[in-house]
Amino acid sequence: MLIKLKHSLLFLLAAVLSQACQQEDVDAKLVLPTDLQVTVLQGERGNVTVNFSAQNANFFRVSFGVDNQFPELVQGNQATFSYRQAGTFTITVQAHATENDFIKEEVQVSISEAAFGLAIPQNGYLSPESYEGYRLVWRDEFEGNALSSDWVFDLGDGCPTLCGWGNNELQWYRRENVRVENGHLIIQARQENAGGRNYTSSRIKTQGRQSFQFGRVDIRAALPKGQGIWPALWMLGDNIDQVGWPRCGEIDIMEMVGGPGTARNNTVHGTVHWDNNGSHAEFGGSVTLREGIFNDNFHVFSIIWDEQKIVWLMDDEPYHEIDITPSALSELRGSFFFLFNIAVGGNWPGNPDNTTIFPQQMVVDYVRVFQKE
């Protein structure tokens, strides 16, 4: 019995030693990749190309540092990606021997706003600072580094009463998307999460600070572009908190609903909204550039507004007019305040798609109000 027990122990020991030797052979055969080399080439409009190589690598995985992305399997030694917003991102490249055995390299890449065509235009129409028969009663040239006290913010998504601001818009309005620099007001729409929304932007207004009844308004601005992008320079009646919309009246000096490519990015609209016996009524017109889009250069969007009519102009050329003398349009003869904003998505422009590049921005050079002497 004792001899048999010894033989069993010896057999068991031999088996353990054999298994250990086999594992050592496997470990000896497994060679981790070495000498991982990564280079990043930046192209236009947020495009990057990542090239990589490593000794003893069987395959590679790459992530581009957006949306908590895990490294994904790629073919060959190159991967490309298009960033849709500015920022600093960490690109991770993994060189694998097996699924669980790899080395990695991280490289940071900075995508500038200039990559998205966000440089402020240097050219465009410039309106005069005076008109015969008018006097300048208010202006904002956006000097300094902050908004003046003439402006306040609308914040959030318009809930609970007007979720999506009444138009099923997708953005969350906040202060951080506005800045004033080098004599310009800049409002940006960005693809980022805030308030349960996937986009952010800003909406500023002069409600309670500056309002006007009649006159000529000139606003010099360069517009954003892209499917689902909806910039607006507009006015609402001072009595909106008492009577609501549309009974307060609305005057849209400029609206643009961006589209893919050049579509719709070359056309702006001028519209009024009012209450017609308890129903919403509206009347609008539009003008299209002969060439280019409104993102290319500055243009001046104007109205000439008196007790009789409202005339819309682009670069001092009239393109639309409405008679406001009928009693049903009396709200358009009241006192109004300004609103400037970029909406994202909504009933009119539709939602952004894979052609939409973020961020987008509207640059306002000045707003001036003239009234008859």
Does 373 participate in catalysis according to the annotation? Answer: no
> How would you classify residue 103: left for phi > 0, otherwise alpha for psi between -120 and 50, otherwise beta?
beta
Please tell me the distance from the alpha carbon of residue 317 to that of residue 301, in angstroms, as a whole number.
Answer: 10
| Structure-block tokens of residue 15 | 């088996």
Judge contact between 298 and 125, C-beta under 8 A: yes
Q: Is the dihedral of CA 136, 301, 224, 152 positive or negative?
A: positive
Residue at token pair 């028969």: 133
| Structure-block tokens of residue 288 | 């299209």
In three-state secondary structure terms, 321 is strand
**Strands of the sheet with 34-42, listed across from one edge:** 34-42, 47-55, 78-82
Q: Which of 255, 321, 331, 373 is catalytic?
A: 255
Please tell me the distance from the alpha carbon of residue 1 to that of residue 4, in angstroms, as a whole number.
Answer: 5
Question: DSSP secondary-structure letter at 124?
Answer: B
Please tell me the distance from the alpha carbon of residue 19 to that of residue 23, in angstroms, as a whole number.
Answer: 6
Cβ atoms < 10 Å from Cβ of 14: 10
Residue at token pair 């709200």: 331
Find the DSSP H helices in 235-275: 240-243
DSSP element (H, E) containing 26: helix 2-29
Judge contact between 269 and 252, C-beta under 8 A: yes
Does 255 participate in catalysis according to the annotation? Answer: yes
Q: Which of 129, 141, 169, 250 is catalytic?
A: 250
Cβ atoms < 10 Å from Cβ of 83: 21
HSE-up (13 A, CA, CB side) for residue 150: 14
> Which residues are marked as active site?
250, 255
